[in-house]
Amino acid sequence: MEVKEPVEMQWRVRPAKLHKTKAIWASIFIVAVGLAIASSGILLGIALVGVLVGTQAIFFFTTAYSIDEKGLVAKFPLRKKQYSWEQVRRVKFFKEACILFTRKKPSNLDGWTGITVMYGDNRDEVIRSIKSHLLEGTAT
């Protein structure tokens, strides 16, 4: 069996830039809801727009990812999340992203404990890098 050399890399992803139509419609919806609420109270409308943008921050703003021999680090707009490769028990690969989980079997807590890793424009390199670092026995 051939041993693969782990690939280290860094990249940045901004989904709103990749999906411009979705970004436009999401912005229109957020502004429309904010204006509707602002008709009864301007501060409430501004606060609601801030909350809605905050909940969609990963979509609207840039996320920086880095992979090295220690693990994966995701620097989201409002927080930072990192897993060492020993913590990753399961990986689920999708078309535009993958999710790293700390549990080997699916759980209701997966939404709270997993890291979503968006590929951006370099899908194949990201998948290759993640697979090269996974420990033996990690479920995919």
pLDDT averaged over the chain?
Answer: 90
How many CA atoms, within 13 angstroms, populate the side-chain half-sphere of residue 79?
Answer: 6
Residues 95-106: pLDDT tens digits? 999 999 998 988
Whether residue 115 is contained in a domain is answered as: yes
Q: Which residue range(s) make up the domain with 24?
A: 16-58
Q: How far apart are CA 133 and CA 118, in angstroms?
A: 17
Q: Are residues 107 and 74 in the same domain?
A: yes
Residues 63-86: pLDDT tens digits? 999 999 999 999 998 889 999 999
Question: Any idea what the CATH number is for the domain that residue 93 is in?
Answer: 2.30.29
CA distances from 50 to 13, 29, 100 (A): 22, 13, 29
Whether residue 35 is contained in a domain is answered as: yes
Q: How far apart are CA 51 and CA 48, in angstroms?
A: 5
